[in-house]
Amino acid sequence: MSLGRRSLLAKLCVAMGVVALPLLLAILGYVLPQLREQLRADRVRGLRQAVETAYGVLEAYEARERAGTLTRQEAQAQAAALLQGLRYSGVEYFWVNDLDTKLVMHPHLPAMLGKDLKGYRDVRGRAVFVDIVTLAHAKGEGSLAYAATRPGSPDAIPKESYVKLFQPWGWVLGTGVYVEDIDREVAQVRQRILLAVGGALLLALLAGAYVSRRVVRPVRALADAAHRVARGDLDVRVEVRSEDEVGRLTEAFNGMVAGLREVVGALVDAAGATAADAERIRVSADALSLTTREQSESLQRTAEAVQGMSARVSQGAQAARTAAETAADNGEVAREGGTAVGHASKKMAEIVDVVEQSARTVARLQASGRVTGEMLRLIQQVADETQMLAVNTAIEAARAGQHGKGFSVVAGEVRKLAHRTREAAGQVQSLLGQNEADTAAAAELMRQGTAKVREGLGLSSAAGDALARLVAGVREIGGHVERMAEENARQSASGESLAGRIHQLSVRSTESVDGVRQIARSVEDLRTRASRLKELAARFTATGKPRS
């Protein structure tokens, strides 16, 4: 298991170990050797002071020798006897050898007095007295370490000695202490240090365990609550047990959950309302698309009927011209012209019916255009409300911080969709306005055509009556027929123009159908995204049950 997955108490113990281990290594590897060296230096200084004291004895007797009160042999004998009985620290003693390595005085080796000690070696094979003489010749005084035995003990023990040359007599005065005393003191110090460090670590461990428990329990409670929130439970609340940083963190967590609960509730309600509005808009758009398509088909049929009417009017005009020419030749042709005029009158009546039917169709188209305008205004209002909803959703998602990033993305998509819906509605509104203008123009043309056709119908009726009453007025009738033919030609031209306008209106109605279909697709996308937003928000619960 990596350190990142261990508990806080384990991490604290590891931290204390990391701090204590270098400290122990520094104490054992540097401080204690330095302490031992310092104790050795202190012992060497003590030995030097002791040698200086004993050296004063030699100087006193040598002064008496120089004064003539004692001979050299007497002075040396009395000085050696005094040094042999001299002790410090209770048991420590002095010895004297000369520069020829002969032992002059030693309180524990009386049998070796006067003997040459060049062959004397310690347990490690060191020629101790040879080294002492060498040191005395080289420096006059100094310290020397070797192995020796305590009186009455067969075991060799490391010993630190200090020697000094008494030049007038050629004597080397020395004393020493056993190093095991230093090692014993160092071991005692080491034991006390280890006990102190161990006690401090134990106290630190106990204090760390107490502090970690005070911190770990609230943190674990917060972690469990956070996992519950991640699973969708927004009713979770952590009890605040302290006023320290952990307590403030707990209060902030509770506040965050409360705010998130409010945001999710508002998002669920808004998503439900948006989905419902999108569904209503979709239904309205489908109805509008169907109505517009029917209007387009009706306009197409009207255009075809007007074109047929125009063709028939043109044919009537041609027939009227032929009747006028024939009426000039004979009355029989005039009668046939009268018959043709009768047929023309019937056709004119049919034209009147067709034109009136076209006028009614155009009137219905104008009414449908007004209804379409009202529905487009409704779509624009819904798009504006959706835009405001997306802005509010983005604000609430920003307040939610990390937990609201998904809602911020959805809010951005809803805002884009509302913007596209508003643009499509504006385009359809523009097309509808043009449609209304063209429809009004077509209605005006239909009214003019109806008036002209009715006038032509009156003329045809008058011509028929005139032919019935008076055949002799054929020429006059022919003149009337000629005028009627001209009027029919104008009516035919008006019918062609009207047919063209109606065809353009049909094309624009088809474009309106495409625009309405685009709006329907945009509204369907809006409904789908609102449903997705509702599903995402419904993952969270506020009373133990999913929000509906």
Q: Judge whether 196 and 27 are in contact, CB under 8 Å.
A: no
Q: What is the pTM of this model?
A: 0.35
Quick: pLDDT tens for 274-308.
777 777 777 776 776 777 777 767 767 776 766 77
Q: Judge whether 546 and 265 are in contact, CB under 8 Å.
A: no
Q: Is residue 542 part of a domain?
A: no
Strand spans (E) along 369-488: none
CB atoms within 10 A of CB 220: 12
Domain identity same for 306 and 169: no
Q: What is the mean pLDDT of the chain?
A: 76
Quick: pLDDT tens for 86-139.
998 888 899 999 999 999 999 988 888 999 989 888 877 889 999 999 999 999
Reported as a pLDDT band with limits 50, 70 and 90, residue 384 is confident
pLDDT reported for residue 547: 47
Max distance between CA atoms of the chain, in angstroms, equals: 207
Of the residues 164, 181, 202, which one is the last residue of a structural domain? 202
Domain identity same for 362 and 497: yes
Domain identity same for 140 and 274: no
**Domain of residue 428, residue span:** 255-537
Domain identity same for 284 and 402: yes
Residue 183 identity (one-letter amino acid): D
CATH number for position 65: 3.30.450.20
CA end-to-end span of the chain: 44
Domain identity same for 154 and 44: yes
pLDDT reported for residue 344: 65
Domain identity same for 196 and 82: yes
Domain identity same for 132 and 272: no
CB-count burial class (<10 Å; 0-12, 13-18, 19+) for 311: middle
Quick: pLDDT tens for 34-85.
766 777 777 888 899 999 999 999 999 999 999 999 999 999 999 999 999 9
Domain identity same for 197 and 306: no
Domain identity same for 425 and 489: yes
- Tell me: pLDDT of 181 over 70: no
C-alpha–C-alpha distance, residues 532 and 283, integer Å: 20
Q: Which residue has the higher pLDDT, 215 or 333?
A: 215
Token pair 């972690």 is at which residue? 223
pLDDT reported for residue 54: 93
Of the residues 141, 176, 202, which one is the last residue of a structural domain? 202
Q: Is residue 296 part of a domain?
A: yes
Q: Is residue 471 part of a domain?
A: yes
**Domains of the chain: total:** 2
pLDDT reported for residue 167: 94
Domain identity same for 363 and 464: yes
Q: Is residue 424 part of a domain?
A: yes
Quick: pLDDT tens for 522-539.
777 777 877 777 777 666
Determine what percent of the chain falls in helix, strand and coil, rounding each to the nearest 5. 80, 10, 15
The string over 490-520, giving b where at least 16 C-beta atoms fall within 10 Å of a residue's C-beta and e elsewhere, is ebbebbbbbbebbbbbbebbbbbbebbbbbb
pLDDT reported for residue 134: 95
Those residues with Cβ within 8 angstroms of residue 357's Cβ, 6 or more apart along the chain or in another chain: 302, 305
Q: Is residue 271 part of a domain?
A: yes
CATH number for position 495: 1.20.1270
Residue 78 identity (one-letter amino acid): Q
Q: In this structure, what is the dihedral angle of CA atoms 372, 378, 383, 388, given to the nearest 10 degrees?
A: 170
Reported as a pLDDT band with limits 50, 70 and 90, residue 164 is very high
Of the residues 202, 219, 239, which one is the last residue of a structural domain? 202
Reported as a pLDDT band with limits 50, 70 and 90, residue 546 is very low
Q: Judge whether 377 and 367 are in contact, CB under 8 Å.
A: no
Domain identity same for 321 and 391: yes
Domain identity same for 139 and 76: yes
Q: Is residue 220 part of a domain?
A: no
Segment (H or E) for 485: helix 474-537
Q: Is residue 240 part of a domain?
A: no
Q: Is residue 307 part of a domain?
A: yes
